[in-house]
Structure formats: structure tokens, C-alpha cells
Structure 1
């Protein structure tokens, strides 16, 4: 009987370890947001936004829309070779990240209801194809601010 208890404990520990492994690669996205910011807009009706979305999960997800109470609409854009193109969605790869930064992928807050000022924070809702929505706070920084997002 004394021999059985250690074997049972080893078998139970092995089962738990295997369950932990399958849980970490369960095929779901695990999303988080870092470095969000908006340079204080110079225009009264339009502003840009930047952030990084990291996916630590084992499955890709897709950013399908962005909204904010300060804008009539928020659109997503990519910039390649100096040409800006509106996108309907962006993929966040499994174990990867999606970076929105100046001169590349970015958000455009259009039809501003009020012009955000440096030091304020705006609320932004990110909607994904697979994961639930994320609501984040985006600080407004100086118009010339160049944070290290995506670097």
C-alpha cells in the first residue's frame, strides 16, 4: 500500500502536466493591448491612434472594428510604400502581434465630436472576430510625441 500512494501521485502529477500543456496551446487567442496613444490632433475633425495588440494564444484572431465615443467613425489603415489603404480587418497571428504605429498600420478617428487635448484619455473599443471586445484607455500625447510603440 505504501508503494501505491507515490505511483498515484506521480500519475496524477503527469496528468495535470499534460492538461496544462494542452491548455496553453488550446487553439484560442489570448489578446492584450500595450502602448496605446493618440497624438493631439492638429485637425478639428480627424485624429490618428496607435497601439500594439499581442496574441499569446495558440490561434490567430482578427481585429474587425474599432469605435470610440469621440468619433463618428474609426477606420483602420495600412501604409505600404507611402500609400495609405483602408482595411476592413487585421489578423493578429497566434503567438504574434499587430502593431499600429506612425508611418505604418494606424487608426483614423474621423468626424471628431470633440478635439482631444494632450493629457486627456479617450476610450476605445476593439472588436475581434473570435475573442470578446476589449475596451482600452488611450492617452492623448503631444502632437510631436513619438513613443516607442512597436519597436
Structure 2
């Protein structure tokens, strides 16, 4: 191998290493936006609900497929139909739309809490999607009766 070939190989290896370091890790960055995330203070350590609005500003629909949290090993996605809640495997997050997880409706259920958070605490949750990367969210623990006003259609993104 001559000196020129050695230099070309060195440059090629340097470029390959730079590309690998600069973010070709295989992880997909999520474009989902989460607003208004909260958890009413749980009554006991048996269960709690998580509520938020997940916005999808992209042109591609996605699905919320799960969630994880250090506070519970069993997080479930629940839908509410005819005033009955049931666990589902996923929920649609429409393209250029939103998925509302709210009291009396769809929500994330924390089963078998490892501790009982108090008002003012923050609960970390990682949301998992079918195609987007995961999103870490902090749910602020609110009073048990807290129920935010639903934003009107004209309110836009002002939160």
C-alpha cells in the first residue's frame, strides 16, 4: 500500500467515525408534543391516572403503544366507552392532530404504585409510539379534584 492509499483510507475511516458519532445511532427522534400533563394525587398506592394532550404536528399518523415509569411496572393505556374503561393495546395519534388523555375519557393507568406521590411532586413517564421515538414527560401531581378547562378550538397553541 502506498502513502496516497493510506491517506485516502485514513480520511475514509475518519469520515465514517464522524458519521457514526454524529447521530446515526438508529434512534428515531419523536416529533410528538405533549402539553398539560398531570396526575391527580392518588388516594392510595393501588392505582393512579395520567392525563395530557399529545399533539402530532407531522403528516403521518402514529399510535401511542405504551408507557413506562419508575413509579410503576404496570402502565396501561385505557379507553373509556359508554362510561366503562378498558385496556387497549394502542391509541391513534392522527396526522396533524392530537390525542387527548383526559378525566372521564382516555388515559394512562398506573397500576401497583411503588410509592404514593403527593401534590407538587413530578412523576416521570416515557411514552412509546409505533413509529416516532419515545417522549419523556413529567406529570405534575395535582389535587385530587383538579380538572383543567378544556381549551377552545380558537385557543391554538397558547398554553
With structure 2 as the length reference, what TM-score do the two structures score? 0.74
* Distance of 1:119 and 1:61 partners within structure 2: 32
Quick check: 1:63 aligned with 2:64? yes
Q: How many residues align?
A: 123
- What is the deviation of 1:150? 6.2
Offset at residue 83 of structure 1 (A): 1.3
User: Structure 1 length as normaliser, TM-score?
Assistant: 0.78
1:18 is aligned to: none
Q: Residues 149 and 67 (structure 1 numbering): CA distance in 2 closer, same or farther, change over 3 Å?
A: farther
Report the equivalent of 2:37. 36
Q: Name the Cα RMSD after superposition.
A: 1.4
State the Cα distance separating 1:148 from its structure 2 match.
Answer: 2.7
Task: Describe the shift of the 1:150–1:67 C-alpha distance in structure 2 as closer, same or farther (beyond 3 A).
Answer: farther
Structure 2: give runs of 5+ residues left out of the alignment.
1-29, 153-159
Task: Report what 2:82 is aligned to.
Answer: 81
Specify the alignment match of 1:92 in structure 2.
93
- List alignment gaps of at least 5 residues for structure 1: 1-28
Runs (4+) of structure 1 exceeding 6 A deviation are none
**Residue matched to 1:51:** 52
Between Structure 1 and Structure 2, the one with more strand by share is 1
Please show how residues 105-120 of structure 1 align to structure 2 within 5 Å: 105-120=106-121
